Chain A
Amino acid sequence: MQDKTDIEMAARLKRARVTALIAGGFAVSVFLLSIVQMLKV
């Protein structure tokens, strides 16, 4: 029972890291988009 809980938690944490990477990637993209004008320099 406990092992099952641990495995489920490990899977959740793995999914959470993927979510965080997507959210972080989105934030970085927005930053780059907001300074896109700098590319014109």
Chain B
Amino acid sequence: MAHAATHDHHDHHGAPKGFFQRWVMSTNHKDIGTLYLIFSLTMFFIGGAFAMVIRAELFKPGMQLVQPYFFNEMTTMHALVMIFGAIMPAFVGLANWMVPLMVGAPDMALPRMNNLSFWILPFAFFMLLSTLFMPGGGPAGGWTMYPPLSLQGESVAYVIFAIHLMGISSIMGAINIIATILNMRAPGMDLLKMPVFVWSWLITAFLLIAVMPVLAGAVTMLLTDKYFHTNFFNAAGGGDPVLFQHIFWFFGHPEVYIMILPAFGIISEIIPTFARKPIFGYRAMVFAIASIAFLSFIVWAHHMFAVGLPMGAEIFFMYATMLIAVPTGVKVFNWVSTMWGGSMTFETPMLFSIAFVILFTIGGFSGLMLALAPADFQYHDTYFVVAHFHYVLVTGAAFSIMAAAYYWIPKWSGHMYSETWGKIHFWSSVISVNVLFFPQHFLGLAGMPRRIPDYNVAFANFNMVSSIGGFWFGASQLIFLGVIIHCVFFSKKKAADRSWEGAKGLEWTVPSPAPFHTFDVPPVIHDDELAHGNTDH
């Protein structure tokens, strides 16, 4: 296996002593990864609190707790915070921590830009969240910011500036990841020998630099429409509000894959470890990720079937969308094939990964239903859509992040987490998340619209069940927080360098916790120890 060189040949400096120097001025990929993960967990709970308000209001028909405008602020902020504040930074944090360790690099290629990428984010979210306290309130037109609705209110400039900052942060993070993966790999770590997680992030980073500027362009035009009297999206002035939807979803659909491709990479690391088998079809997995990324650029209008597209466009986008099921199916079958005949054990990361495969597939199937243009006329803007994307993003993206946290936290902290409490967290989460979201399919099929604070009494029972699931799922995440805090600060159980029996890859050759500096001397890599096995066979 690779010989791990973990110390600098110069003065063996460790982490800076002062708090400010260590965390605010950090250029170390592990510390910046930790900052990203802490930030994302904080945003996860803030966004989760917004979700609790939504589910509390929807517990019963009629107006319960909040004013309708505040409800709309909650749905909008919940999405913005969860997408840009929780899921994306969590994946960037995981990339920061693990990509250099997995490819045998001493750090990210551009460490100072890495620092800037992170520290932009707290300011962006402070500004975004502060709009809730401004006269007139925060954004309430939905995270998609369709004009003219999104242009109401006085907080538009703050929201758009916050989105610009998030975009700049994401683009800089993506550039850093591309530069690191393409240039900083240890000798012998060929592209087709990289772990699937690294591949998934390389492709995700390309998606990011291709579409985040499109979002920036769209919101810039919103800004000029609002404050500089342009009419890009103003029908009265000769503009076209549907144009915004096209531009937004040209960003928005690849954005969905930005939030799921790294999850595919994580699951492709964890399942082989706990099945004690190399991943089945390594190259097919890589090409499937690339195929999904390509297809993500030619399906955007499936979000707009109900807007009045020409028939030819409806048919094209319907078939293009259904095509995504092919590479996604390749991935699902390969994960199952990896498990087939393996010596499986069911530690918490594996449990979350198996739940991911099953529940993400449910989200995928409901996505196929939505891809059918004629059917989408029925489903559009109903709770069926809400159920669909929460299966993809909660039991998909969020579950993969939890799986990754349990899988790699021994390497990060040097301690093992409590397996008992990890499993309690898993079972509590996996049951409650289905109680929360599965009834929403029925609500949607019965015609309940999304983004409303009140509803017909016909929808009462399923909404009550869904809300109970929501409160239960929210409470379950406090267990997650407890497990992490216990593991990092109180756990007595030391983690081995190779924390899992079946784990392979360079990251497991360095001590646990990973030293402040790793791979200052490039490691020597032997193919038979790579996580996906020897691809030359």
Contact = CB atoms under 8 A, between A and B. Distances in A.
Determine the interface band of chain B, counting residues with CB < 8 A from chain A.
Answer: 20 to 34
B175 A30 contact: no
A24 B217 contact: no
Contacts of B175: 20, 23-24, 27
Contacts of A20: 109-110, 113, 175-176, 178-179
A30 B180 contact: no
A41 B231 CA distance: 9
Interface in B480-537: 521-522
Contact of B184 (A12, A27, A31): A12
A41 B171 contact: no
Contact of B183 (A2, A16, A26, A30): A16
B521 A5 contact: yes
B178 A34 contact: no
B23 interface: no
B230 A17 contact: no
A5 B522 CA distance: 8
B210 interface: yes
Contacts of B217: 30-31, 33-35
A30 B210 contact: yes
A34 B176 contact: no
Interface string A3-35: 001000100110111011001101110110111
B209 A26 contact: yes
A10 B54 CA distance: 53
A10 to B, nearest CB: 12
Given A23-B209, A38-B221, A41-B230, A31 B179 contact: no
Nearest to B178: A23
Contacts, number: 79
A30 B184 contact: no
Contacts of A19: 109, 178-179, 182-183
Main secondary structure on chain B at its contact with chain A? helix
Most buried by A among B179, B182, B184, B218: B179
A7 to B, nearest CB: 13
A23 B209 CA distance: 7
A13 B341 CA distance: 44
Interface in B152-197: 171, 174-176, 178-180, 182-184
Nearest to B224: A38
A18 to B, nearest CB: 9
B9 interface: yes
Given A2-B9, A5-B522, A34-B247, A27 B183 contact: no
A31 to B, nearest CB: 4
B213 interface: yes
B334 interface: no
A8 to B, nearest CB: 8
B216 A31 contact: yes
Given A2-B9, A23-B178, A38-B230, A30 B214 contact: yes
A11 B522 CA distance: 14
B212 interface: yes
Nearest to B182: A19
B106 A9 contact: yes
A15 B183 contact: yes
B184 A34 contact: no
A27 B110 CA distance: 17
Interface string B216-254: 111011001000001010000000000000010000000
A38 B216 CA distance: 13
Contacts of A23: 174-175, 178-179, 209
A28 B218 CA distance: 14
Contacts of A13: 109, 183
Contacts of A30: 209-211, 213-214, 217
Contacts of A34: 213-214, 216-218, 247
A41 B237 CA distance: 12
A31 B213 CA distance: 4
Contacts of A26: 209-210
14 contacts: A5-B521, A16-B180, A16-B183, A17-B110, A20-B175, A23-B175, A24-B171, A27-B212, A27-B213, A34-B214, A34-B218, A34-B247, A35-B220, A37-B232
Interface of B: 9, 106, 109-110, 113, 171, 174-176, 178-180, 182-184, 209-214, 216-218, 220-221, 224, 230, 232, 247, 521-522
Given A17-B109, A19-B179, A31-B213, 12 more contacts: A2-B521, A9-B106, A16-B110, A16-B179, A19-B183, A24-B171, A27-B171, A27-B212, A30-B210, A30-B211, A33-B217, A37-B232
Please name the 9 residue pairs, one residue from A and one from B, whose CB atoms are nearest each other, closest first. A34-B217, A31-B213, A16-B109, A16-B183, A30-B213, A16-B179, A35-B217, A19-B179, A23-B175
